[in-house]
A and B are shown apart, each in its own frame.
Chain A
Amino acid sequence: GQQVMQIPQYQHVQEGEDFTTYCNSSTTLSNIQWYKQRPGGHPVFLIQLVKSGEVKKQKRLTFQFGEAKKNSSLHITATQTTDVGTYFCAGHDYKLSFGAGTTVTVRA
């Protein structure tokens, strides 16, 4: 079955620095979604990527879908304390499979 692997599991970032989290699937995906879960909260949809090589930006967040549609990345520039939380990728083949998430903490 489909497996979605996400690295790193934890990311400790100095405020103002950039970081990237990566997502890899064992199978080709029809699309990939990214969610953010704040501590004590629930996952909230951020974005969906559908096309091979697609790149989308949301302010300081840049999302990319690989050419083979088997990997994706989320890059955050100039990290802020509001970026704290766990970022999940979720790959779609016939159902949504979530990666383990990257938990981000920010040092002020």
Chain B
Amino acid sequence: DAGVIQSPRHEVTEMGQEVTLRCKPISGHNSLFWYRQTMMRGLELLIYFNNNVPIDDSGMPEDRFSAKMPNASFSTLKIQPSEPRDSAVYFCASSFGLAGAGNEQFFGPGTRLTVL
């Protein structure tokens, strides 16, 4: 199994540009999570999907952030327009079952985003 796949691994963009981060979960996993990690705020859950449906998006910072999961094998996190304070490492994770079921989450390698 290739594990959770994220792309790109690094993204440098200018303020105001649109950024799209991509994630392919582990095959067979039906829960997908987007996290943001910064030194100041640690690891924050942004949104999670179960069976492609957004269950909890209370962690999404503001309307500039949106996430989609059009099918079981693909999800995107979009920031439009991007701002310097969005600079962080964005992790995608997947698991089997519901988020509250206590199943192990498998994290992808992350996308390091820098907004200039």
Contact = CB atoms under 8 A, between A and B. Distances in A.
Contacts, number: 48
- By size class, the interface of chain A is 20 to 34
Q: Report which residue of B44, B91, B107, B108 has the largest number of chain A beta carbons within 10 angstroms of its beta carbon.
A: B107
A7 interface: no
A43 B42 contact: no
Interface string A18-53: 000000000000110100000001111100101000
B104 A48 contact: yes
Interface string A74-99: 00000000000000100011111111
B102 A95 contact: no
Interface string B83-116: 0000000010100000110101111111000000
Given A45-B104, A88-B43, A96-B99, 15 more contacts: A33-B102, A33-B104, A33-B105, A42-B107, A42-B108, A42-B109, A42-B110, A48-B102, A50-B102, A92-B100, A94-B99, A95-B99, A95-B100, A96-B45, A98-B45
Q: Report which residue of A41, A42, A48 has the largest number of chain B beta carbons within 10 angstroms of its beta carbon.
A: A42
A33 B105 CA distance: 10
Interface residues of B, number: 19
A43 B48 contact: no
A43 B109 CA distance: 9
Given A33-B104, A95-B48, A43 B43 contact: yes
Contacts of B107: 42-44
19 contacts: A33-B102, A33-B104, A42-B108, A43-B91, A45-B104, A45-B105, A45-B106, A48-B104, A92-B100, A93-B100, A94-B99, A95-B56, A95-B99, A95-B100, A96-B45, A96-B105, A97-B45, A98-B44, A101-B42
Contacts of B44: 98
B100 to A, nearest CB: 5
